[in-house]
Copies of this chain bind each other. A is one copy, B any other.
Amino acid sequence: MSTWEENVRKVVPYTPGEQPKERKYVKLNTNENPYPPSPKVSAAALSFDALRLYPDPAASDLVHAIAEYHGVSDKRVFVGVGSDDVLAMAFMTFFHSGKKILFPDITYSFYDVWADMLEIPFETIPLTGDYRIDPADYARDCGGIVFPNPNAPTGIALPIEDVRSIISKNPNVVVIVDEAYIDFGGTSALTLLDEFENLLVVRTFSKSRSMAGLRIGYAIGSEKMIAYLNDVKYSYNSYTMNRPSIIYGVESIRDDAYFKETVEKVIKTREAFAEAIRKAGYVVLPSSANFVFASHPTIPAKEIFARSREAGFLVRYFDKPRIDNFLRISIGTDEEMRAYADFLCEI
């Protein structure tokens, strides 16, 4: 190894779900929305001439539209290149004590990657036997807490009183509630924001707003927290949000009717799909997300995964302890899910 290589930050990166270019699969592996973004997005006028100019570094129009949607002041909103960017910056900003941060053992598999990359010590807290977060496990000295609600890849929502309990027992550290899937079920921690100055709620346009291809995430927290986050953002990249993201993002969040309609459709399809495969003997964890986490009592998940792929269905399999007999199945259109349910029932 050359000398320069010895000093490289060496990391084991997160593995995103496959994004095959051929598009010959029914793609149920990355929790994308089966419906297109709001038609208002395509109607928005992007000035190509203006692409020569830097975007607004504060992305004020987008921040304002999000703040307005949630009924908070603009100073409480932070935006980034997908919720991954927002979470990475939040880790950098708030998990800086040198103490271990806490998150569940079964959860979004990017948390330990960020912690490793940013050299933040961490400890994972096992979920209960029925794959739930027990707030009592988080009542301890630590450097910060992060968990998704609903959790991924289980899809299980944590009751708001349990969320409150975790935050109230950790007033001296920042608690990040990652609500990537909250629009599909569960109660948001946004209602707790006025109670807790150390709470950061993170959201994304990638799931419920059908905008994965645009990369927009945001966080809402106290003005103080957002100011600290912005300092780190402006120390990393002044202009993270490009002009298309700002313009199309504003249109997306303003079209509430379309948003509600598509979210409702996904929820309805999820319930029908879960019901259909439960009847065929599958175990399906109760999902509040746009995916279900399912297992079969006799056929190994790895085998179902491989056979699904052969049959043209792409789902997600995690080769990790405790969940290596489950499949995470994103909710597609009614038609796609009927076809996949038929396939699963036949196996």
Contacts and interface: CB of A to CB of B under 8 A. Distances in A.
A224 interface: yes
A48 B37 contact: yes
A52 B215 contact: no
A312 interface: no
A49 B96 CA distance: 40
Contact of A51 (B4, B173, B213): B213
Interface string A1-31: 0111111111111111101010000010010
A84 interface: yes
Interface string A115-129: 011000000000000
A245 interface: yes
A19 B241 CA distance: 14
Contact of A13 (B55, B231, B239): B231
A237 B96 contact: no
A193 interface: no
A238 B242 CA distance: 17
Contacts of A245: 242, 244
Contacts of A92: 9, 117
Given A114-B235, A117-B236, A212-B52, A81 B81 contact: yes
A9 B94 CA distance: 7
Contacts of A11: 231-232, 235
A242 B244 contact: yes
A211 B52 contact: yes
| Most chain B CB within a 10 A radius of its CB, from A36, A54, A92, A173 | A54
Contacts of A41: 48, 51
18 contacts: A4-B171, A4-B173, A4-B174, A7-B143, A8-B96, A9-B93, A13-B233, A14-B235, A41-B48, A46-B244, A51-B213, A51-B214, A55-B213, A81-B242, A82-B239, A84-B236, A116-B235, A213-B242
Interface of A: 2-17, 19, 21, 27, 30, 32-37, 41-42, 46, 48-57, 81-82, 84-85, 88, 92-97, 99, 113-114, 116-117, 143-144, 171-174, 197-198, 206, 210-215, 224, 228, 230-240, 242-245, 248
Given A12-B235, A37-B48, A37-B51, 19 more contacts: A4-B198, A7-B143, A7-B173, A9-B228, A9-B232, A14-B234, A16-B57, A19-B55, A27-B53, A32-B53, A37-B49, A41-B48, A84-B238, A84-B239, A85-B236, A114-B235, A117-B232, A244-B244, A244-B245
